[in-house]
Amino acid sequence: PVCSMGNSTSRLYSVLAKTLSSGAVSQHQDCLEQLDPARLDPIDPKDLLEECQVVLQKRPPRFQRNFVNLKKNTASNHRPIRVMQWNILAQALGEGKDNFVQCPMEALKWEERKCLILEEILAYKPDILCLQEVDHYFDTFEPLLSRLGYQCTFFPKPWSPCLDVERNNGPDGCALFFLKDRFELINSANIRLTAMKLKTNQVAIAQTLKCHETGRLFCIAVTHLKARTGWERFRSAQGCDLLQNLKNITQGAKIPLIVCGDFNAEPTEEVYREFSNSSLNLNSAYKLLSPDGQSEPPYTTWKIRPSGECRHTLDYIWYSQHALNVNSALGLLTEEQIGPNRLPSFNYPSDHLSLVCDFSFNQDPDRLL
């Protein structure tokens, strides 16, 4: 039932309810036509957050996570750029393939899980949002986030495993969103990654943006590398291909770069070393949370499958370390917050944690990257 919440929110709720109830593409064509963002009014994020909270009222409240201030004594007159990286867990995989043995199926219901995802995004208000495993782009994220002021881009995997699941919602892929009132799109590239000269099933999006406030250019990229043990060399080859593409796009690192992704690789893997040692001079932002600034977090994903407990660090935000400063980073969920049944859960919608960083430009634009 639709709750009566006053004119502004009840109108919004009907839009949210349409995206919630949509199923496979064949079922939501009408919904898509009605949700053409060009014909719809902007949404107030507070209204959308309220609507999500109505849907989630029987669920436990969101976990509290705090930002850690990492800013050195470098004064900046400009607002930082907030970047959010998150593998949100494809709905078809969560329900049909991933076998989260301690997660009740009830916790994976799209009608509510979708609102948990939106609540997390709305809580942190990113200027740029990089998502992986998006299989509800056209019926949910694009129509809603475009009305929140984001420009939206989606690049699906050529052979998404979601398509093997009965009653799927189409292929999953990477999605990139940025606020149009803060940035202008200069260039956009959809990249199908290669390995050993062969095209693979993994993709990336790279966009060159101009910051309205500073006039500075930078490149933002999102990717999701091949999963599973035994594919380390394959991921390494994909990483090399992505780095080569990014070198071309950034004109050999003349343009600062931020790369968000689920690399499916621990810091011990070759692909991690390739990014660390690249001529693009990248650093991993979440290392800065460690006492020595040299160690990655102990985990970014934590789940229980039939084979046992899986606790890994796989997700990263890389950045041009001389051109950009990391002002702050969002702390991770603690083991106590995650709980004994791990992720996903009634509290948290994905098996991966969201990563959020605030960046500012180095004040000396002529300084070498």
**Average pLDDT of adjacent 10-residue blocks, the chain of 369 residues:** 38 55 42 52 94 94 93 77 98 87 92 97 98 97 97 97 94 98 98 96 98 97 97 98 98 96 98 98 97 95 91 98 96 94 95 97 64
Please choose, from the candidates 151, 142, 152, 82, the residue with its C-alpha nearest in 3D space to the C-alpha of residue 118. Answer: 142
Could you tell me which residues come within 8 angstroms of residue 109 by beta carbon, excluding any fewer than 6 positions away?
none
- Return the pLDDT at 41: 86
- Measured between alpha carbons, how far is 132 from 121 in angstroms, rounded to an integer? 14
Q: How far apart are CA 115 and CA 15, in angstroms?
A: 13
Report all structural domains of the chain as residue ranges with CATH numbers, in order of start: 80-166+174-363 (3.60.10.10)
Beta bridge partners of residue 208, listed in sequence order: 187, 219
Contact between 178 and 150 (Cβ < 8 Å): yes
Give the Cβ contact number of residue 211 at 10 Å: 17
**DSSP state, residue 346:** S
> What's the pLDDT at 101?
86
Does the bond joining 298 to the residue before it have cis omega, within 30 degrees of 0?
no
Beta strand 217-224 pairing with 198-211: antiparallel
The whole-number pLDDT of residue 114 equals 97
Residue 22's pLDDT is what?
A: 46
Q: What is the DSSP letter of 253?
A: T
- Per the DSSP assignment, residues forming a β-bridge with 176 are 130, 153
* Residue 219, φ and ψ in degrees, nearest 5: -110, 135
The pLDDT assigned to 16 comes to 66
Give CA–CA dist 174/105, Å, rounded.
25
Q: Quick one: pLDDT at residue 71?
A: 82
Taking CA atoms, 284 is separated from 95, 205, 338, 351, in Å, by 32, 19, 24, 21
